[in-house]
């Protein structure tokens, strides 16, 4: 008993432990699973086009304003009171027609004085000519007396005193000097008559300025003064003198259009244009008459003038649109408008590189038509330019390229 008792206790303990914990289940060892192969990436298919080499053209529209062919403010050359004026705003005048007259009372006195000075100079000239005739007669007499004495002395030496001979020679020299003096006086009077005649012509010319005439045919667009007004002389271009009227020629008009810098190299004199005048709903064919040849540093535009015959329905100040078709004679590379990406004023396209990845390529464009852009730089004719929808694409993505139009 003493020997087997501990063994019994150990056996009962084992039975109790097994009853409390339940049967011990063997752990199942799962075999290691094989790695799942990764799915292959599916590439997007994009359509592309090659840049075309073709002649490019575009229709460009400029805005312009009609102006008179020529216009001038007519000033008075001399100061005076406006005596009469025969025109008003809107009056049609012909070249050389008298528009207004001035009243200058002192001008008549100036004319009389100039005429009197010329007549006095003419009288002095006549007197100088008479003095010349007298001096020539005195010289002739003195010469004859001197020669007679010399002949007498030569025939009978000592018959005439030397003093008498010397006095005769002196009278001859005095007559010669008198003749020279009168001739000089005549030359002076000739110059005086020229001066007097010039002064008279000037006074008459100034008097002619009392009539203000039209320098060309046109229409009076503004009248500044009425009869009785004091008109100041407009003697300088910076004068503040009030003009009498403003005259404009409107039988012909100048349409002044602004050409943007990009189109300046292609615009030339003689280029045909189409003018649309919205206010009268009329189209007028014409051609460019002249170019300013100078770009505005502010607007980067150049003025082009088009001479337009006025049928009577056009008025200076009207606006018009000028349509010009510009053509480039040399072929250029072009791409469809749908390929262009605009970003902050810069333009680019997506191209498929040789490694079949998308590459963004900046370009410089020129002419733009309704369906294409001219490419000045950034592309080659062999480049593949993407025309597909770019919403699901991004630069660097690998794609399958297919020419546009292929199935």
Q: Is residue 306 a part of any domain in this protein? A: yes
Q: Is residue 32 a part of any domain in this protein? A: no
Q: Residue 109 — pLDDT band, cuts 50, 70, 90?
A: confident
Residue 143: CATH number of its domain: 1.10.287.620
CA distance 56 to 273: 18
Residue 348: CATH number of its domain: 2.40.420.20
Q: Are residues 340 and 280 in the same domain?
A: no
CA distance 218 to 247: 6
Q: What are phi and psi of 371, to 5 degrees?
A: -125, -10
> Of 285, 303, 327, which closes a domain?
327
Q: What does the buried/exposed string (b/e) look like for 160-197 if buried means 16 or more CB atoms within 10 Å of the residue's CB? A: eeeeeeeebeebbeebeebbeebbebbeebeebbeebe
Q: Residue 15 — pLDDT band, cuts 50, 70, 90?
A: very low
Roughly what angle, to the nearest 10 degrees, separates helices 162-208 and 105-155?
160
CA distance 375 to 22: 87
CA distance 339 to 374: 12
Dihedral sign for Cα 218, 223, 229, 234, please: negative
User: Element (H or E) spanning 257, and its range?
Assistant: strand 245-260
pLDDT at 16: 43
Higher pLDDT: 332 or 71? It is 71
Q: Are residues 297 and 256 in the same domain?
A: yes
Dihedral sign for Cα 337, 342, 347, 349, please: negative
Number of domains the chain contains:
3
Q: Does the pLDDT value for residue 26 go beyond 70? A: no
pLDDT at 1: 38
pLDDT at 192: 83
> Of 306, 327, 348, which closes a domain?
327
Which residues are bridge partners to 174 per DSSP? none
Which residues are bridge partners to 59 per DSSP? 325
Q: Are residues 288 and 360 in the same domain?
A: no
pLDDT at 28: 46
pLDDT at 234: 75
> Of 282, 312, 327, which closes a domain?
327
8 Å CB contact between 251 and 92 = no
CA distance 104 to 41: 103
Point out the least confidently predicted range of 84-93, 275-284, 329-338.
329-338
pTM, rounded to two decimals: 0.56
The tens digit of pLDDT for each residue in 132-175 reads 888 888 888 888 888 887 887 788 787 777 788 788 888 888 88
Closest CA to 47 of 339, 334, 368: 339
pLDDT at 197: 84
Q: What percent of the chain has pLDDT over 90?
A: 32
Residue 309: CATH number of its domain: 2.40.30.170
Mean pLDDT, residues 292-307: 91
Q: What does the buried/exposed string (b/e) look like for 299-334 if buried means 16 or more CB atoms within 10 Å of the residue's CB? A: eebbbbbbebebeeebebebebebebebebeeebbb
The tens digit of pLDDT for each residue in 345-376 reads 788 999 999 998 999 999 998 877 778 888 98
pLDDT at 251: 93
Within 13 A of 86's CA, how many CA atoms are on the CB side?
13
Q: Does the pLDDT value for residue 120 go beyond 80? A: yes
Q: Are residues 346 and 273 in the same domain?
A: no
Q: Does the pLDDT value for residue 397 go beyond 70? A: yes
Q: Residue 236 — pLDDT band, cuts 50, 70, 90?
A: low
* Mean pLDDT across the chain: 82
Q: Does the pLDDT value for residue 239 go beyond 80? A: no
Neighbouring residues of 264: CB distance < 8 A, sequence distance ≥ 6: 295, 302
Which residues are bridge partners to 54 per DSSP? 332
Q: Are residues 311 and 362 in the same domain?
A: no
Point out the least confidently predicted range of 63-67, 307-311, 327-331.
327-331
The tens digit of pLDDT for each residue in 257-287 reads 998 887 888 788 999 999 999 999 999 999 9
Q: Residue 72 — pLDDT band, cuts 50, 70, 90?
A: very high
Range of the domain at 346: 48-55+330-403
Mean pLDDT, residues 302-318: 93
Closest CA to 265 of 215, 330, 189: 330
Neighbouring residues of 92: CB distance < 8 A, sequence distance ≥ 6: 217, 218, 219, 220
8 Å CB contact between 337 and 372 = yes
Which residues are bridge partners to 350 per DSSP? 360
CA distance 159 to 370: 126
Q: Are residues 253 and 318 in the same domain?
A: yes
């Amino acid at each position: 008993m003493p020997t087997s008792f501990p063994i019994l206790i150990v056996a009962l303990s084992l039975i109790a432990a097994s009853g409390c914990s339940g049967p011990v289940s063997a752990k199942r060892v799962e075999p290691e699973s094989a790695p799942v192969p990764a799915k292959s990436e599916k590439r997007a298919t994009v359509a592309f086009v090659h840049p075309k080499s073709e002649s490019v053209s575009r229709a460009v529209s400029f805005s312009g304003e009609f102006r008179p062919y020529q216009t001038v403010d007519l000033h008075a050359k001399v100061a005076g009171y406006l005596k009469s004026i025969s025109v008003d705003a809107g009056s049609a005048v012909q070249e050389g027609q008298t528009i207004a007259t001035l009243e200058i009372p002192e001008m008549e006195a100036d004319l009389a004085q100039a005429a009197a000075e010329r007549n006095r100079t003419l009288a002095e000239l006549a007197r100088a000519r008479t003095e010349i005739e007298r001096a020539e007669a005195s010289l002739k007499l003195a010469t004859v007396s001197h020669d007679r004495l010399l002949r007498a002395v030569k025939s009978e030496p000592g018959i005439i005193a030397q003093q008498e001979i010397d006095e005769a020679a002196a009278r001859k020299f005095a007559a010669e000097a008198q003749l020279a003096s009168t001739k000089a006086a005549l030359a002076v009077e000739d110059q005086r008559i020229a001066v007097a005649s010039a002064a008279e012509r000037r006074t008459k010319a100034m008097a002619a300025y009392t009539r203000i005439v039209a320098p060309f045919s046109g229409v009076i667009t503004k009248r500044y003064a009425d009869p009785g007004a004091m008109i100041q002389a407009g003697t300088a271009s910076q004068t503040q003198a009030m003009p009498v009227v403003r005259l404009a020629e409107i039988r012909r008009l100048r349409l002044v259009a602004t050409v943007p810098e990009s189109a300046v190299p292609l615009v030339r004199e003689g280029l045909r244009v189409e003018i649309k005048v919205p206010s009268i709903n009329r189209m007028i064919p014409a051609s460019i008459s002249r170019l300013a040849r100078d770009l505005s540093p502010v607007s980067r535009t150049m003025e082009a003038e088009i001479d337009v015959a006025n049928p009577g329905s056009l008025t200076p100040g009207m606006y018009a649109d000028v349509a010009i078709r510009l053509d480039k004679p040399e072929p250029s590379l072009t791409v469809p408008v749908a390929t262009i990406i605009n970003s902050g004023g810069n333009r680019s396209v997506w191209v498929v590189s040789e490694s079949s990845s998308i590459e963004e390529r900046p370009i410089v464009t020129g002419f733009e038509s309704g369906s294409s852009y001219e490419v000045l730089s950034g592309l080659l004719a062999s480049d593949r330019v993407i025309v597909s929808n770019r919403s699901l694409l991004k630069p660097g993505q690998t794609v399958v390229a297919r020419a546009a139009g292929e199935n």
